[in-house]
Amino acid sequence: MSSDLIIKEDPSQYPIPDEGLHNAVLVDAVDLGQLETPWGPKHKISLIFELQSKDEDGKPFIVGKRFTRSLNEKASLRKFLEKWRGAKYSPSELSEGVDLENFIGMSATLFIVHNDSSDTERTYANIESVIPYKSQKTGEIAYFELKPSGDYTRVKDREGYQKPEEYAETVNNGKAA
């Protein structure tokens, strides 16, 4: 007897970019809200990049990296942004704050690595590091030379978008962090 309600995990592997350096454009900065972590609740954000390299269907690869929303001198987000812009933040810049919306459309060169997940038996492409994008025409840093394909829709513009606190509650199993 067969049932249409038997659901199995889809073992298919989604295409991932090759390991190594990839030119990319930041296409989204997503506020994920307060998420539970092994170290307690943390306010998280995600930076989403569209790579210039494409999959076998001709679509650009999309990769993202999550960070705790902090510009403390030891924070991963601050280190990442300083590497990307090629300069440390001044005390006055830090006191004014950093608007991640200003980074949307900014070019980058990402170092992508593959990591295997033992529990899902999948391989994931992760952003290991970032450096400023150098123009292939001039060899100079070109912050806004690369253009996105236009295929990516920002999370905040999608149908069914959940505000950060709503998304966090969903992820935290119905509990506010």
Question: Where do the domains of the chain lie?
Answer: 25-148
Distance from C-alpha of 144 to C-alpha of 103, rounded to nearest angstrom: 9
Task: Note the pLDDT tens digit of each residue in 8-49.
Answer: 555 556 789 999 999 999 999 999 988 888 888 999 999 999
Count how many residues are written for the chain.
177
Beta carbons within 8 Å of 94's beta carbon, 6+ residues apart = 71
Q: What is the DSSP letter of 119?
A: T
Quick: pLDDT tens for 88-122: 999 999 999 999 999 999 999 999 999 988 777 78
3-state secondary structure of 107: strand
pTM: 0.86
Q: CA nearest 156: which of 23, 1, 27?
A: 27
Non-local (6+) Cβ contacts of 10 within 8 A are: none
